[in-house]
Chains A and B, each alone.
Chain A
Amino acid sequence: MILSGWGNFPKHIARVRAPRLEAELKAAIADGQAIARGNGRSYGDSAVSISNTIHMRHFDHMLSFDDDKGVLVAEAGVLLSDVIDSFLPRGWFPMVTPGTRLITLGGAIASDVHGKNHHLDGSFRSCVRWIDLMAADGSITRCSRNENAELFGWTIGGMGLTGVILRCAIQLRPVQTAWMRQHTISTQNLDEAIAAFEANLDKPYSVAWIDCAAKGDKLGRSLVILANHAEPGEVPVHCRKNVLKAPKRKKRSFWFHFPGFVLNPITVRLFNAFYYFMGSQGSGHAVVDWDSYFYPLDTVHGWNKMYGKRGFMQFQCVLPLATSREGLTKLLQAISASGQASFLSVLKRFGPQDSPLSFPMAGYTLALDFPNTAKARALMPKLDAITLEHGGRFYLAKDSRLPADTLATADPRAADFAAWRAERGLTTQFASAQSERLKL
């Protein structure tokens, strides 16, 4: 079938199987060039193997939950949204969550996703207690910080290239309510945005929406949004009966692909200006439900179709603290000069990260999306070059087009990983379209 990531680009004709039993999974892996696929939310081709994509949707059983400690044991195909549905009413929330809850636990581990609390809590890795990994011969190895620690390290952020993640134990965070208290600061330019992040490093959650169409002295103007889990007394009065429950949001759907012309540089610029204006009007404090805060896009089913059939590309890099200001300025200048404004642009301060392969590092990360047009494709190498000049690196869960040599230059760990894989014969056993492109 025709298969791609969430960005609908690139598309491959791939063989996909969805085994139900461990024995079936074992047989599927044995065919080689295997890659496990979760809910298909990584943007590019990391969960696509042309000859052997293994869909893990049937491995979605929860196995146990420790009500006292908040430790969940579950199969890799369980969705983060299922975890929330089950345990938020009991006072537990994921320790780390990205901007969508429609990802599997296996995918969260393979991409080592991060959230708005990275600066304090680190990446998804922080909440992973152990992983059961199936090797090419069907054997299952449990790995953790104490047991098979090397395998554990490479698996988290290893893009599914160390084996098939079968089960895991994750730590949840106790929360008092299903609500978030958020504080929006509108900043006039990049310096102000960075200052807002640096002044609020103690706030549990922080992220900025950045108007990347703004130029000149408005370059980098942002809405910096800080938040923390609300206390029961802060919950809207009409919802205080059960503070762990928030009203369900109405779902909307994109049933069809927008024609390509709908999102063009002009409409995107207008949207950005409008969004900034609305956000700056609403600056200040607000209490919002968890779903609106963490997952604003998830209620729009199939929002990726907004970009039309051509699909879209994500660009996400992180720059070290020392070069962040200069690097971000250059990136934003390059984007606004190209006229290719990104519809949704996100800036975030990362904290330190200690793991062999994961994306984050102490510094600033910028995430952008562009419709898959010739102009946008021409812009990408320019952004890559600026990232390299400033010692930055790239997020593989978002990548659909990075050249192998760019990755190798940006991230020497990629070569270490490739060597480690080759040594163990993993290179041909587990492979994705992405790993082949990037020579991992």
Chain B
Amino acid sequence: MKPVLILGARSDIARATAHAFAALGHPIQLAARGTDNLEADKIDIETRFNVAVTLHDFDATEIESHPTFVDGLPELPEIAVSAVGFMGEQEENERDVVAAAKVMRANFEGPALVLGVLADRMAARGTGTVVGISSVAGDRGRASNYIYGSAKAGFTAYLSGLRNHMAKRNIHVLTVLPGFVNTTMTEGLETPEALTAEPAEVGERIVNAVKKRRNIIYVRRVWWWVMTIIRNIPEAIFKKLSI
């Protein structure tokens, strides 16, 4: 079995995705900023699934380090998943351009560019899949989180372009749009049950979508309907709404 790389490995979705691939027997490469407290996850995955796990120091916002990071991996992965992301506080992001830029970099620049490097190396090899976990928040900018949302919109557009570009080179690109997921990010928010996925569900959906070479998935299909409606509200009306 070929290894699967998980970028931003500390998040709940990342961990669930690592579990879902490890359950199939894939060795796992966990990459995150600072690897010290990832040791428990390494042992956990090794114990649960009897696969090898390696830890890799990776900072998505340090763009210059991306090529060296990718080339320094013990083996170029067959599947690379970016679960990198950072929501920040919308109010703070509105006041503070530095905070806003951090959110934009962490959700767009960093994950997009590292997946670009990975796709490029995979294309040279001839096989591979890259998976970008973006967000439904990128489907339309809303007052409540447009800094995060616009960065995710950029990431979604990048993945779409990368998929188009790489289709001719046999590299598959999957865009994942989770709606609400029961994670640290949504802790304390009361989200509607039918619209809220568990991290394990996200992991399973990603594994299946990779297997079937799907292009874009909404983790809960109901989100496609929700976002189609939201996208189609005329701007003149939309700007007056608070959703």
Task: Kindly state whether residue B120 has any CB partner on chain A within 8 Å.
Answer: no
The distance in angstroms between the C-alpha atoms of A255 and B192, with both chains bound, is 11
Contact pick for B40, options A1, A61, A255, CB 8 Å: A61
Task: Quote the shortest CB–CB distance from B191 to chain A (angstroms).
Answer: 12
Residue contact B50 to A62, C-beta cutoff 8 Å: no
Contact pick for B41, options A61, A72, A85, CB 8 Å: A61
Q: A61-B40, A61-B41, A85-B23 are in contact. Are A1 and B190 (CB under 8 A)?
A: yes
| Residues in B neighbouring A20, C-beta threshold 8 A | 184
Residue contact B23 to A255, C-beta cutoff 8 Å: no
| Residues in A neighbouring B43, C-beta threshold 8 A | 61-64
Residue contact B23 to A62, C-beta cutoff 8 Å: no
Task: Kindly state whether residue A65 has any CB partner on chain B within 8 Å.
Answer: yes
Categorize the interface residue count of chain A: 10 to 19
The distance in angstroms between the C-alpha atoms of A314 and B48, with both chains bound, is 34
Docked complex: B86-114 residues within 8 A CB-CB of A: none
The distance in angstroms between the C-alpha atoms of A72 and B44, with both chains bound, is 11
The distance in angstroms between the C-alpha atoms of A1 and B182, with both chains bound, is 15
Task: Kindly state whether residue A90 has any CB partner on chain B within 8 Å.
Answer: yes
Interface string of A251-263 (1 = CB under 8 A from B): 0000100000000
Interface string of B177-204 (1 = CB under 8 A from A): 0000000100100100110000000000
Docked complex: A50-98 residues within 8 A CB-CB of B: 61-65, 72, 74, 82, 85-86, 90
| Residues in B neighbouring A74, C-beta threshold 8 A | 47
**Complex: chain A residue closest to B44, CB-CB:** A61
Docked complex: A178-212 residues within 8 A CB-CB of B: none
Task: Kindly state whether residue B224 has any CB partner on chain A within 8 Å.
Answer: no
Docked complex: B146-191 residues within 8 A CB-CB of A: 184, 187, 190
Q: Which of A1, A62, A65, A85 has the most CB of B within 10 A?
A: A62
Task: Kindly state whether residue A438 has any CB partner on chain B within 8 Å.
Answer: no
Task: Kindly state whether residue B69 has any CB partner on chain A within 8 Å.
Answer: no
**Complex: chain A residue closest to B45, CB-CB:** A62
Task: Kindly state whether residue B49 has any CB partner on chain A within 8 Å.
Answer: yes
Residue contact B47 to A63, C-beta cutoff 8 Å: yes
| Residues in A neighbouring B44, C-beta threshold 8 A | 61-63
| Residues in A neighbouring B47, C-beta threshold 8 A | 62-65, 72, 74, 86
Residue contact A18 to B23, C-beta cutoff 8 Å: no
The distance in angstroms between the C-alpha atoms of A90 and B44, with both chains bound, is 16
| Residues in A neighbouring B49, C-beta threshold 8 A | 86
| Residues in B neighbouring A85, C-beta threshold 8 A | 23, 48
| Residues in A neighbouring B23, C-beta threshold 8 A | 85
Residue contact B190 to A62, C-beta cutoff 8 Å: no
Task: Quote the shortest CB–CB distance from B211 to chain A (angstroms).
Answer: 15
The distance in angstroms between the C-alpha atoms of A315 and B3, with both chains bound, is 50
Q: Which of B41, B44, B47, B194 has the most CB of A within 10 A?
A: B47
| Residues in B neighbouring A63, C-beta threshold 8 A | 43-44, 47
The distance in angstroms between the C-alpha atoms of A64 and B40, with both chains bound, is 11
| Residues in B neighbouring A255, C-beta threshold 8 A | 193-194
Interface string of B17-52 (1 = CB under 8 A from A): 000000100000000000000001101100111100
Q: Which of A18, A20, A61, A90 has the most CB of B within 10 A?
A: A61
The distance in angstroms between the C-alpha atoms of A64 and B184, with both chains bound, is 26
Residue contact A18 to B48, C-beta cutoff 8 Å: no
Interface string of A236-268 (1 = CB under 8 A from B): 000000000000000000010000000000000
Q: 20 interchain pairs (CB within 8 A)?
A: A61-B40, A61-B43, A61-B44, A62-B43, A62-B44, A62-B47, A63-B43, A63-B47, A64-B43, A65-B47, A74-B47, A82-B48, A85-B23, A85-B48, A86-B47, A86-B48, A86-B49, A90-B50, A255-B193, A255-B194
Closest 3 pairs (CB-CB, A-B): A62-B47, A61-B44, A86-B48
A residues neighboring B (CB under 8 Å): 1, 18, 20, 61-65, 72, 74, 82, 85-86, 90, 255
- Other 14 A-B pairs with CB < 8 A, given A1-B190, A61-B40: A61-B41, A62-B44, A62-B48, A63-B44, A64-B47, A65-B47, A72-B47, A74-B47, A82-B48, A85-B48, A86-B47, A86-B49, A90-B50, A255-B194
